[in-house]
Structure 1
């Protein structure tokens, strides 16, 4: 079943290919996108990045950041910014048609890892104007081979991300004990989607045309009228995806002492790793503040930090976004303040936290 049955109009511009890149927190979407953008096949590609949390970071970690970057940082595309996505896509077309931006030949939307993709796809499939100007080419879902099975067990969003995909990209296979069981589960969820390695050619991942053939009845119902239900409203905290998931944004204008930062990471990871859905940030260490440290972590795993040769933007503030499940963000903030020597936490409490990481309110 094809979703683009409208006959072509010779007076209308050729539709612009559009790819939705999704996958749960920490699966490796930004790394894959960087790989894609280095390929000449993706020249003149416009990227839309959606992030979860008060401080946007993903756009700084995508290597090609220029005027053709749109950052939607108000929340998940699946809820509070779905309308903003439509407005952004329409505005980009107006600017392109009027010559106010460099013409782009393709659009990639990287969703937040917490996004339910159904409302996004509904907008792209059924919006009367967008469906004429954009061609939804593929939904690519990135799956972490190390944490993928546990993520599917715990998060309905991850299941939907897999079920709606045209192609599945399996990452971190070198760190996984084995992938046979995970591959079988992914195939059961979406038998029509091939499972590709991260090294697959760009065109093999992005080519084609999105459709419902081979997808289950659940996918058809998700993309129906129910996907249009609004979940935003006055007073909604855009950093809350459900009652148990929250984001905390840790910052420091002054460079951070390396021992303090390493102790903070080790304490948070060892004491509460299972509750850390994602950690990502740029940190200025006191012994080398001109070259920021890129920090990535998922649950108990904190990847080997990468040192950038220079800051990607004029703001040299350390910024660390931590997405938590069933852990009070104020605890993480107080812990960060304690290791930086800030007066927000009483000295006895700081000592207690340092010596007993399990003694946490609400932890």
Structure 2
């Protein structure tokens, strides 16, 4: 029998649309003390303008940066690259590293990459997802979100959003508008300036949240959503106001906005739930509405674990390994699930949830006329 595997290495995914400023951000972060002893994996070396602070080639496609970071390109397959990296690490052919940063191509949907990291048995044992950092350009961000569904998925998947180019953006109202839109698309993700220090960007994942229970409320953002702030039903009025005030200068009708159909809502349960029941709910939700499910975050009160909640987090159909907390962060011991969905009626999910909780679905006044009894 070999010794126990070493503790998993934290892995940060850096994503963002083409031209948003990922490489500029990366160049700055690589000079930050917090990222010493980091391996940086870059999807496309050709298009990358990394400041070549190279000391020497290590071997093959790996180069050592002056910051002490090792840099290599994902040539073909992320799995092959990561396995190769671990082999070199275990054989002592490269120096131990503390963290890994993967920069994706600008068109990448983060979910398949997360899927690899979480569901590949060996990689899931050796790495743990430390969070998704999404870079958004303050000047073109709104237009990019309108035109490219991948950009929306990158924003919704983010644990941290970095807003770049604010200093050269001339339309301050458009930037404020973009900030609000990012907050609605992803309640609970901090939006940080382009010069944010590395430590503000790393350590944003589920394990870190579990170790800082004081941040759980902000991470969930359930109060903001229940207070109406995260609901998207007000887009219409909002957009018409804009058009009205500016004589139609703002071409921001819902027709052009991919996120008009995205909404965030909260499911709660007062009584603890059996773990098998929760797992069944998640499985059914994913198999029935998987393509419409963008994100799920929550605290689940398990009947089997009265002392502390289960922390759950899914991006699209990829569920992170849940983390059991030793204690509840505050006096509120209800299960709370925050869902961000697209083209999916909140009622449909709420009915599924109540069915699993084993109680009748609450009657809702609106929409009752459409039901024909008998």
TM-score bracket, normalised by the shorter chain, equals: 0.5 to 0.7
- Give the match for residue 185 of structure 2: 189
- Give the match for residue 42 of structure 1: 35
Return the match for 1:71 from 60, 70, 73: 73
Q: Which moved more, 1:94-103 or 1:155-164?
A: 94-103
User: Could you tell me how far 1:87 is from its partner in structure 2?
Assistant: 1.3
Q: Per-residue displacement from partner, 1:229-284 (whole Å, max 9, x unpaired)? A: xxxxxxxxxxxxxxxxxxxxxxxxxxxxxxxxxxxxxxxxxxxxxxxxxxxxxxxx
Equivalence map 1:15-164=2 (5 Å): 15-51=8-44, 56-58=46-48, 60-65=49-54, 66-67=63-64, 68-73=70-75, 81=76, 84-164=77-157
Equivalence map 1:109-258=2 (5 Å): 109-176=102-169, 177-178=171-172, 179-210=175-206, 214=220, 217-219=293-295, 223-224=316-317
How far apart, CA to CA, are the structure 1 residues paired with 2:12 and 2:190?
16
Normalising by structure 2, we get a TM-score of: 0.51
Q: Per-residue displacement from partner, 1:121-177 (whole Å, max 9, x unpaired)? A: 111122111111111101000000000000000000100000000000000001112
How far apart, CA to CA, are the structure 1 residues paired with 2:318 and 2:113?
13
User: Could you tell me how far 1:24 is from its partner in structure 2?
Assistant: 0.1
Structure 1: 5+ residue stretches without partners? 1-8, 74-80, 227-363
Bigger helix share: 2
How far apart, CA to CA, are the structure 1 residues paired with 2:144 and 2:11?
27
How far apart, CA to CA, are the structure 2 residues paired with 1:95 and 1:108?
17
User: Could you tell me how far 1:90 is from its partner in structure 2?
Assistant: 1.2
Tell me the SS of whatever aligns to 2:196: coil
Larger RCO (alpha carbons 8 Å, 6+ apart)? 1
Retained in 2: the 8 A contact 1:34–1:63? no
How far apart, CA to CA, are the structure 2 residues paired with 1:205 and 1:48?
17
Structure-2 change in CA distance of 1:61 and 1:183 (3 Å): same
Structure 2: 5+ residue stretches without partners? 55-62, 65-69, 210-218, 222-263, 265-292, 297-313, 320-374
Tell me the SS of whatever aligns to 2:295: helix
User: Could you tell me how far 1:118 is from its partner in structure 2?
Assistant: 0.9
Structure-2 change in CA distance of 1:10 and 1:115 (3 Å): same
Normalising by structure 1, we get a TM-score of: 0.53
The alignment's C-alpha RMSD in Å is 2.5
